[in-house]
Structure 1
């Protein structure tokens, strides 16, 4: 490999390869820009312990999975679907010669339910594990039990840029922790606290225009949701963007083609402003970004035990998340970050986000565990054990829906619900409606 192509992860690659040659588990902490997502799977392909099996890598989002697979494929002079492929919701690109499969977290759960031993795979890589989605925690717990009971040779690698590595290492039986410094350029930080009566879109738009005046390159703006993205876009159009500056959006509900356009490089002589949710926080590089404007907010699902429903709440991000966002400005050159809060407020941010498992509706988790054959979550090894009260409430719901029998075992109706992959309430609705001849209408309602 030419020196110009070297990335920080290459310095610790021998240590990582040795750890997985001599053992079956490892933890890799690599700072943004180190190259872990695209370099590690390709390096592991040459390992003798694979014995012809494939590698499976989890990404938290569809765009990240597709981007990682495409990047690795290009580095091999191929297209996605050849040596490197991906599986995401509504799209699969793998072929008979695929050796690396990049998948989203829910896809792993389905694969494990269909083949608990993962016989075709030699290793499972959990990328960006610090995001602690419910599906990733579940996937790791199921993989650990699978490795314990069925596949002692299955390699498990947990990777992240910001992670409490000691706790993960302990969960993995004292797995070695490998540290890699990122190739991070300096990023100057400006704090712009918002006034008590100000509107977020106006403050964000003002910071974007300041960034365009003071910084070269493109601007990436982190906002909590689609409504704020639309309003900030309207504000920027009213204020007027400089000539040659395009306005792009980036969020999970966009068509994949439009997501690709948002992360692609601009033509020479032009710039772009990308209004994004947390989808752009990790796992992918938005080409050309030299400035970040961060609203410091995220919209997260919160389960209410009183109502039995989940609602979205807007709350401040953690310091780890804010650092991840700031780092987007320093991936390829020195950059700058405008934070729409003060330094004192920054010191009071929580160090890490609360794992989704601790606050989410656990009905989907309980149904997956029942399909796996587990009635008590304590039978599995978790980084954080699911809260007992929330789990009991989830099981009560599943019993009312007919998914669980009185003894807690899954019913045939429950297995059909689990196979649909949606929330148990929606899966039950679709199956019940299908029996009445209203299946299409129920599916349309579930998709809203």
Structure 2
């Protein structure tokens, strides 16, 4: 047995775990931690014969680790060492080390929060920061602190901020393994922006194969790029025998094992892999790495509630992991398909899945755990608030949470299925209406990649066509556009789901049932046709279909597959939803509203009864007998929106308003009747007058002057007439209206001849405010503005007289205006 670097720290690790219930082990790739640590802890006294659970983020790595550990004991997997994952498990009553994946740990915790038969939980490759690892650690920490202080928690990682993790684990000890790595020569080979990535990678593979010896590991973003690169390499004439093998998560087990096993003698190997080969998995004989520099990660948009896979540049930490694969057995070489300058700009660490993935499954697990909010648990990175809030909203739509936010019995049943909450809800609802088998097939298909390559025209975007094909005769030769591997996995998963739900294969599906089942899973993606392929989704988003799609003329659709990169989401997969089916089966999604609101166009209150599915208006009718209080509230809201000018303001009412505002400056008890104050206090003064009214036209019947005057007491009305009169009598006997609207104060505009004999400027407002006199010519044009009439007579009158006498010779122009008779005529009447 070769000496692995991890062996140098195993004694230290055993010592730490004998005194502490939490620890961190940092060891680089190739140190041997994954397979050596669980075996080293198997006979520790504190374990007391209980099992060790090791969470491994990748299925292939989990199975490989379990098989290798079992071989070290001279056994088969399933005896002392076994593995447990979705659709594939090998464990027995003798199994003491279980390597588990994905949601298995959370499932075990939900069934037994104390993990009574478990002595230790190991989180391997924690630096990958998978959602399930973060969730599993948070749940284990609470279980340990409340129920099982003897439960050991060990976090293992190749590249990790151990200080942050140690702080999360209350200062847990950190054990560091130096590892062993041979030098790796690094070359930067930036790709041309004018050439597809796979062409550049294929050319680099050919060059590296000719220049270097040994096997090669090529990192690409996903299965699509792997297939394209393989096609490019088919035309390359390699100088020696070579096997080109793909390696990604959805490959059949036999093909995955072919990629990681040693090459036949005399044959070199080129493995085209996704990030699955960054850690844990050991691909034999690798000394050359070609790194495309890209990775595919799940991204979730809280804005749209939609998730997608996105191709992003990898982090420096991931680049170093990939590079290290070339130096595990001997000195190696790494070709990076980017520039040194681009490398310096890469992020230090990859973004945790928690910050970018769909959180609905996590929210379901927390609801099952009895958690109202993630803050009740301890996280390295807590779930983002917006994404988590959106996930809870979806769970409420799916019937997982009751009005108090607690998990329902339906939610508990969904959680047991271990599938996405949408699909679990769909299958349970479909089973209740006799369409369980159809739901299993749909769930398997929607949970997988599209089995149709490049959305071939044979199937278009119609969900029903795909379902009918999957339910067809399996003995018929597959259509050339169908990916046989994905097709097979869908049917196998459908069979598994059917067995788990005790569902038998029912009758053939119809368009009615496909759309209905899709609506069960995606209530937020029911779409109303707005014309020309445009659909309004129940979530409020807009989505588009190609205008030539047969589904573009359907009144309603459901869109399980969308892209949210553009303002209007592009629909990739949809099904027809019949209106009568909605009414019969989606009553729980249909909400009734009585809307009482102001209609700007009609300038009136409109009362409507509406039936809506989310943002989609399904039905609407006018309400014959609306609630009077709600009508009045809507009318007042409309008045506020339109402004105080919606009332019928006569000139007299406006003058009265200004007089009251003038008097208020001296008498604070006078009500504030400014436009702003009137709008703010509509309920107090307007409500009694507008009762029973619905429109602007009806408001025109009001007398605003009478309404304003009613706001004053009898004493205040008397004071108003005395101190802020509407009119004033001048020496000629005329009653002239005072203008209270001018900024300079109350104005009296009067012709000069009507002022003769008036020695002083008249005052109002308890004698405190002199009127601003606009002295007019016989033609009513201002000739002088003054507040000091006496000064005018003494100093200005004679100049004005000289100027006007020539223009108006028929009018009287006395030498002494203070003794002259005032007149409203050209000349005064004879006495």
The TM tier, using the shorter chain, reads over 0.9
Which moved further from structure 2: 277-286 or 428-437? 428-437
Task: Work out the CA distance in 1 between the residues paired with 2:405 and 2:227.
Answer: 46
Task: Work out the CA distance in 1 between the residues paired with 2:183 and 2:211.
Answer: 16
Q: CA deviation at 1:44?
A: 0.6
1:140 is aligned to 137
Task: Work out the CA distance in 2 between the residues paired with 1:388 and 1:28.
Answer: 31
Q: CA deviation at 1:359?
A: 1.3
After the TM superposition, which residues 31-430 of structure 1 pair with which residues of structure 2 at under 5 Å, given as runs? 31-430=28-427
Deviations 1:275-333 (A, max 9, x none): 11111111110011111111010111111122211011110000001111111111111
Larger relative contact order (CA 8 Å, sep ≥ 6): 1
Task: Work out the CA distance in 1 between the residues paired with 2:297 and 2:14.
Answer: 37
Task: Work out the CA distance in 1 between the residues paired with 2:187 and 2:288.
Answer: 11
Deviations 1:200-244 (A, max 9, x none): 111111111122112221111110011100100000012233442
Deviations 1:247-274 (A, max 9, x none): 1111111111111111001111111111
Q: CA deviation at 1:13?
A: 1.2
- Normalising to structure 2: TM-score of the pair? 0.53
Match of 1:444 among 441, 444, 450: 441
SS at match of 2:234: helix
Deviations 1:118-172 (A, max 9, x none): 1111000000000001110000000001101111100000000100000000111
Match of 2:431 among 421, 431, 434: 434
Does the 8 Å contact 1:105/1:139 carry over to 2? no
Q: CA deviation at 1:10?
A: 1.2
Task: Work out the CA distance in 2 between the residues paired with 1:361 and 1:77.
Answer: 42
Does the 8 Å contact 1:224/1:314 carry over to 2? yes
Task: Work out the CA distance in 2 between the residues paired with 1:59 and 1:202.
Answer: 34
2:728 is aligned to none
Task: Work out the CA distance in 2 between the residues paired with 1:298 and 1:376.
Answer: 32
Please provide the CA RMSD for this pair.
Answer: 1.0
Task: Work out the CA distance in 2 between the residues paired with 1:348 and 1:326.
Answer: 17
Q: CA deviation at 1:93?
A: 0.7
Task: Work out the CA distance in 2 between the residues paired with 1:441 and 1:329.
Answer: 47
- Runs of 4+ in structure 1 over 4 Å off: none
SS at match of 1:181: coil
Task: Work out the CA distance in 1 between the residues paired with 2:223 and 2:267.
Answer: 25
Which moved further from structure 2: 57-66 or 424-433? 424-433
Task: Work out the CA distance in 1 between the residues paired with 2:304 and 2:35.
Answer: 43
Deviations 1:376-402 (A, max 9, x none): 111101001111121111111100111
Q: CA deviation at 1:429?
A: 1.2
Q: CA deviation at 1:115?
A: 1.1
Task: Work out the CA distance in 2 between the residues paired with 1:142 and 1:45.
Answer: 23
Q: CA deviation at 1:25?
A: 0.6
Task: Work out the CA distance in 2 between the residues paired with 1:222 and 1:440.
Answer: 39
Does the 8 Å contact 2:301/2:387 carry over to 1? no
1:26 is aligned to 23
Does the 8 Å contact 1:59/1:127 carry over to 2? yes
Task: Work out the CA distance in 1 between the residues paired with 2:85 and 2:329.
Answer: 28
Q: CA deviation at 1:65?
A: 0.3
Task: Work out the CA distance in 2 between the residues paired with 1:216 and 1:251.
Answer: 24
Task: Work out the CA distance in 2 between the residues paired with 1:60 and 1:186.
Answer: 28
SS at match of 1:303: strand
| Count of residues in Structure 1 that have an aligned counterpart in Structure 2 | 445
Does the 8 Å contact 2:217/2:290 carry over to 1? yes
Q: CA deviation at 1:82?
A: 1.4
SS at match of 2:238: coil
Task: Work out the CA distance in 2 between the residues paired with 1:249 and 1:410.
Answer: 43
Q: CA deviation at 1:73?
A: 1.2
Which moved further from structure 2: 206-215 or 46-55? 206-215
Q: CA deviation at 1:5?
A: 2.3
Does the 8 Å contact 2:210/2:239 carry over to 1? no
2:760 is aligned to none
Task: Work out the CA distance in 2 between the residues paired with 1:240 and 1:425.
Answer: 49
Any stretches of 5+ residues in structure 2 without a counterpart? 446-831
- Normalising to structure 1: TM-score of the pair? 0.98
